[in-house]
Amino acid sequence: MATSRSIVFAGGGTGGHLFPALAVADELRGRHAGAAIAFIGAARGLDTRLVPGAGFPLRTLPLSGLKGASYPARVAAGTFAAVAVLRCLAWFLAGRPDLVVGVGGYASGPAVLAAWLLRVPTMLMEQNHFPGATNRWLAPLADAVCVPSEAAKERLRGVWIVTGNPVRAKFATIGPAPGGARLSLLVFGGSRGARSLNRGIMDALPALAAMAPPPRVVHQSGPAECDAVARAYAAHPVLDGEVRPFLDDMPLRLAAADLVVSRAGATTLAELAAAGRPAILVPYPFAADDHQTLNAQAVAHAGAAVVVADAQAGGGHLAEEIAVLAGDPGRRQRMAAAAKTLARPDAAARIADVAESLLAGKEVPRVS
């Protein structure tokens, strides 16, 4: 790829969309230091902090979602989307990119549509086994669609390639769990937190504090409930609870964890697999097509996780599951080994290979 190549990644808004995009962007940057790689994202969300932090330029679009919105809000969102397409057209005419990569999220649609109108090569990255609405709509327009599994492929039209879900390279270098006498527990509900998971763990705190020895807990709560969760831990100082609204250093946190309690988003599961960490998964019950439950069940079937339904996460039930695994280090080791079998450590490289094929004007084969 020539040093003058220009690549735009569009989308994000949540860690589930953004972290895979950053992994692929970093792979391309490592291969071709002279390439101009930039992001288009939402004006609010993780994009504004993580993209510049990773060393990539970011342009933002004022967008909002349609799902569950009132009629006036839907009209406003449609207007913003139309303006966003025009803005992307202006950007691309001023500095025509060689490739636009849609990664899901609100900003992906206007950018990929603008690229398609200008006949700029486009590709999509889909993280979920049950693709989101934006990528389902865009897939027929794209020159290539990178998907995590055969199940996702069957739900998208377009030139698909099964690549797996990319994760940041640091996850693949994580060694075995600490495995000390005291369990190290990591809890997180995604980049925005998870109210029911927070409440379930808060219910579990008295029982966790009574364990012998009690676990150490690191808890990503999301910004909305950080103060409330921190106060709950303060009543149980024996847990050494560390509560953060967001964890920027997830590879380090996973490296220090013996057991994880989390949602079951596709990117989270890919990170757990790469790290080889056993998990108690509490799927978000309102995800499209209930895809988190299906994701979690697949991981549990492989022997790498225990699944707790969201409605059953309260009332101390999570404490019971944690206590069982805390007392059985052999089972945790077997779950960790099973998690490793689900990892696709070459996913970022495979997606970067697709990008380079499109940049070179080559036909992209439909391969697994």
**Cα–Cα distance for residue pair 324/145, rounded to 1 Å:** 41
Which residues, in sequence order, are CB contacts of 336 under 8 Å at separation 6+? 176, 177, 276, 277, 278, 304
pLDDT at 140: 92
pLDDT at 65: 55
Q: What would the two tokens of residue 187 be?
A: 């809890």
Which residues, in sequence order, are CB contacts of 174 under 8 Å at separation 6+? 251, 254, 255, 274, 275, 276, 277
Q: Which CATH class is domain 6-165+346-359?
A: alpha beta
pLDDT tens series, the chain, 368 aa:
445 799 999 998 888 889 999 999 999 999 988 899 999 998 777 888 889 999 999 999 886 555 555 556 555 656 777 888 999 999 999 999 999 999 988 889 999 999 999 999 999 999 887 787 888 899 999 999 999 887 777 777 777 898 999 998 899 899 999 999 999 999 998 777 789 999 999 999 999 999 999 999 999 999 989 999 999 999 999 999 999 999 989 999 999 999 999 999 989 999 999 999 999 999 999 887 788 998 899 899 999 999 999 999 998 899 999 999 999 999 999 999 999 999 999 999 999 999 999 999 887 766 55
Q: Do domains 6-165+346-359 and 171-341 have the same CATH topology?
A: yes
pLDDT at 153: 78
Q: Give the start-to-end residue ranges of the domains of the chain.
A: 6-165+346-359, 171-341
A 10 A CB-CB count for 13 gives 24
**Cα–Cα distance for residue pair 240/236, rounded to 1 Å:** 8
Q: What would the two tokens of residue 125 be?
A: 């990255």
Which residues, in sequence order, are CB contacts of 35 under 8 Å at separation 6+? 1, 3, 5, 6, 7, 28, 29
- Superfamily in which the 171-341 domain is placed by CATH: Glycogen Phosphorylase B; (3.40.50.2000)
Phi, psi dihedral angles at 247 (to 5 degrees):
-105, 110
